[in-house]
């Protein structure tokens, strides 16, 4: 089995690398010559735990190669995966399909022998058929089938998500295409992964429905958290009480500053746009988009309130900028709303993120970039945790109180416990839980840990 992966971004690179680990010959193709040259030199353009090692082993074995030559790569392949970006189109929220269509047009004349063209990119319902039409028009004699095979990879745990998925969804409409896709995913049969065969449209919609549902779950608990703060309830206990109900499930009920990343924001917008276009509005998804935007704005206000109602002339230490830990991805990160809001209110921001600062520097202005968490705290009036990197879960709290001008901590991910923070001498504000004041006699604590 020979596989060509068109697009060596996040999804293409992880998928291609994992498939070479399965034992297939994989060539990852990209138009970006600098990226391909770097990959050939063993440099990985993204931070994803475990990926660098896997790329190295498979590249050394010769099963994983990189190329800018789409035509040759496609000609040799039994399966060609399209894994190019589908960003939100400005103005209307629809997924921008220009990269997908351009890939289809370019690969069509290069097809040799029976080939399955697999759409991995997240695309609106109907795109698979469009892609088939484009290929047929560009290469009327080509022998091919188009298949939809959405990805469900989470950044930060993408390798494990690929190797041990909850399910694989394949939208294929001929036995030949189904057979080839079964061969691609045969290594997962060992883990008894359910492989669902459906139509193209069903597979395409399953991806949007799954992501929008998870985004709604996060947004739901965020709104419950806001209510908890007003009525004096504890959102962690509410989430646990809900999550123990097997029909609800405990996952994705962790309240925070709002979802971000490369998928939830664009996929909720795209599903809402598809609903409008089809005359079947996705009113829940539309509400999720709005509530999540407001949530990020509310986080800036929450921090200002925790600082006594004003941050004018104050310095705020910010820990964590990426949309979640274990990634360097800053796309739609809550920090991109929160940091400018603090600055607009007159604050100076000192920030640190273990992996995201390279990208953050391009997106945030006038920030003092720090070497580590303690450097960020040095002389600051308050400490804010936006992203729950492990490195922030066991801070030296004595050192923190010494470095900070005032012991104010705003923990937007609930990684510490209010009682411990009070005991350590902090004025502590978290999400959906009562604020705590410093205990009368602070005791020495080196780590928290909810
Ligand atoms: C998501 C989907 O999980 C994955 O299946 C899909 O293919 C791509 O989109 P990803 O964006 O990498 O993956 O991150 P995920 O772990 O799902 O988190 C998304 C956002 O929700 C993050 O901003 C995260 O901080 C937030 N989140 C998640 C919460 O605030 N609370 C939770 O309980 C879970």
Same domain, 189 and 260: no
Same domain, 397 and 314: yes
Whether pLDDT at 448 is above 50: no
Check residue 449 and give its pLDDT.
43
* Domains contained in the chain, number: 2
Check residue 441 and give its pLDDT.
61
Q: CA 80, 64, 143: angle at the middle one, nearest 5?
A: 20
State both tokens at 388: 């729950």
The residue from 18, 28, 228, 263 that is catalytic is 263
Chain position carrying tokens 């960003």: 87
Q: Which mutation among 256, 299, 337 tests ligand 1's pocket best, with the greatest number of atoms within 8 A of CB?
A: 256
CATH code at position 49: 3.40.50.720
What percent of the chain has pLDDT above 70? 98
Is 426 inside a domain boundary?
A: yes
Same domain, 188 and 278: no
Please state, in angstroms and rounded to a whole number, the distance separating the CA atoms of residues 297 and 334: 9
48 lines ligand 1 (CB under 6 A): no
Check residue 218 and give its pLDDT.
98
- Cα 60 to ligand 1 centre (Å): 33
Please state, in angstroms and rounded to a whole number, the distance separating the CA atoms of residues 35 and 38: 5
- Cα 294 to ligand 1 centre (Å): 18
Same domain, 136 and 249: no
Residue 199: Cβ within 10 Å count:
13
Query: Average pLDDT for residues 98-115, to the nearest whole number?
Result: 97
pTM of the model as a whole: 0.94
Same domain, 422 and 323: yes
Query: Average pLDDT for residues 41-57, to the nearest whole number?
Result: 94
**Helix, strand, coil in percent for the chain, rounding step 5:** 45, 15, 40
- Cα 259 to ligand 1 centre (Å): 7
Same domain, 336 and 265: yes
Check residue 445 and give its pLDDT.
52
Is 450 inside a domain boundary?
A: no
Ligand 1: nearest atom to the Cα of 251: 33
253 lines ligand 1 (CB under 6 A): yes
Is 449 inside a domain boundary?
A: no
Is 221 inside a domain boundary?
A: yes
Is 355 inside a domain boundary?
A: yes
Is 448 inside a domain boundary?
A: no
Ligand 1: nearest atom to the Cα of 252: 33
- Cα 389 to ligand 1 centre (Å): 14
End residue of a domain, out of 198, 219, 235: 198
Q: Which domain holds residue 101?
A: 2-198
End residue of a domain, out of 165, 198, 231: 198
Digit-coded pLDDT (tens) for 160-194 = 999 999 999 999 999 999 999 999 999 998 778 99
Q: What is the DSSP string of 45-61?
A: SS--TTHHHHHHHHHHH
432 lines ligand 1 (CB under 6 A): no
Check residue 450 and give its pLDDT.
42
Distance (Å) of CA 396 to CA 303, 391, 437: 22, 11, 19
Check residue 91 and give its pLDDT.
80
Check residue 442 and give its pLDDT.
52
Is 388 inside a domain boundary?
A: yes
263 is catalytic: yes
Same domain, 101 and 209: no
What percent of the chain has pLDDT above 90? 93
Q: Which residue's C-alpha comes closest to atom 19 of ligand 1?
A: 259
Same domain, 193 and 208: no
Ligand 1: nearest atom to the Cα of 253: 33
Q: Which residue's C-alpha comes closest to atom 14 of ligand 1?
A: 154
Please state, in angstroms and rounded to a whole number, the distance separating the CA atoms of residues 27 and 81: 10
Ligand 1: nearest atom to the Cα of 413: 30
- Cα 262 to ligand 1 centre (Å): 9
Same domain, 175 and 209: no
Same domain, 239 and 192: no
- Cα 230 to ligand 1 centre (Å): 26
Same domain, 303 and 409: yes
pLDDT band at 15 (very low <50, low <70, confident <90, very high): very high
Is 175 inside a domain boundary?
A: yes
Check residue 439 and give its pLDDT.
83
End residue of a domain, out of 177, 198, 219: 198
State both tokens at 97: 């399909």
Same domain, 189 and 208: no
Please, what's the largest Cα pairwise distance for the chain? 81
154 lines ligand 1 (CB under 6 A): yes
218 lines ligand 1 (CB under 6 A): yes
151 lines ligand 1 (CB under 6 A): yes
Query: Average pLDDT for residues 137-148, to the nearest whole number?
Result: 97
236 lines ligand 1 (CB under 6 A): no
119 lines ligand 1 (CB under 6 A): no
Whether pLDDT at 446 is above 60: no
């Amino acid at each position: 089995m020979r596989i060509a992966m068109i697009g060596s971004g996040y999804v293409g690179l992880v998928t291609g690398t994992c498939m070479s680990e399965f034992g297939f010959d994989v060539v990852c193709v990209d138009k970006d010559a600098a990226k391909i040259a770097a990959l050939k030199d063993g440099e990985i353009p993204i931070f994803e735990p475990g990926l660098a090692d896997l790329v190295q082993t498979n590249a050394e074995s010769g099963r994983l190669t990189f190329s800018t030559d789409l035509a040759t790569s496609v000609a040799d392949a039994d399966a060609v995966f399209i894994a190019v970006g589908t960003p939100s189109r400005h103005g209307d929220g629809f997924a921008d399909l220009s990269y997908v269509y351009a890939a289809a047009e370019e690969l069509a004349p290069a097809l040799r022998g029976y080939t399955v063209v697999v759409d991995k990119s997240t695309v609106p319902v109907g795109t698979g058929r469009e892609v088939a039409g484009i290929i047929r028009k560009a290469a009327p004699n080509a022998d091919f089938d188009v298949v939809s095979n959405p990805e469900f990879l989470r950044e930060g745990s993408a390798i494990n998500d690929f190797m041990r998925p909850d399910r694989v969804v394949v939208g294929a409409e001929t036995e030949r295409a189904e057979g080839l896709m079964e061969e691609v995913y045969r290594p997962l049969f060992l883990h008894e992964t359910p492989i669902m065969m459906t139509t193209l449209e069903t597979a395409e919609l399953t991806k949007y429905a799954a992501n929008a549902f998870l985004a709604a779950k996060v947004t739901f608990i965020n709104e419950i958290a806001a209510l908890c703060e007003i009525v004096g309830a504890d959102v962690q206990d509410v989430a646990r009480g809900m999550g123990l109900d097997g029909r609800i499930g405990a996952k994705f009920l962790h309240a925070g500053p709002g979802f971000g990343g490369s998928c939830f924001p664009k996929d909720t917008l795209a599903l809402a746009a598809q609903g409008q276009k089809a005359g079947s509005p996705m009113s829940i998804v539309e509400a999720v988009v709005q509530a999540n935007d407001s949530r990020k704005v509310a986080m800036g206000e929450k921090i200002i309130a925790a600082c006594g109602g004003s941050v004018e002339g104050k310095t705020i230490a910010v820990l964590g900028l990426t949309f979640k830990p274990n990634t360097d991805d800053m796309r739609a990160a809550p920090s991109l709303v929160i940091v400018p809001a603090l600055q607009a209110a007159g604050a100076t921001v000192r920030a640190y993120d273990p992996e995201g600062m390279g990208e953050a520097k391009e997106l945030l202005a006038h920030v003092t970039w720090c070497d580590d968490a303690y450097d960020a705290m040095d002389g600051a009036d308050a400490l804010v945790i936006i992203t729950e990197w492990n490195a922030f879960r066991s801070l030296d709290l004595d050192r923190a109180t010494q470095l900070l001008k005032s012991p104010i901590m705003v923990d937007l991910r609930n990684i510490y416990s209010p009682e411990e923070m009070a005991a350590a001498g902090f004025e502590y504000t978290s999400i959906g839980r009562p604020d705590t004041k410093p205990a009368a006699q602070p005791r020495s604590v080196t780590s928290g840990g909810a």
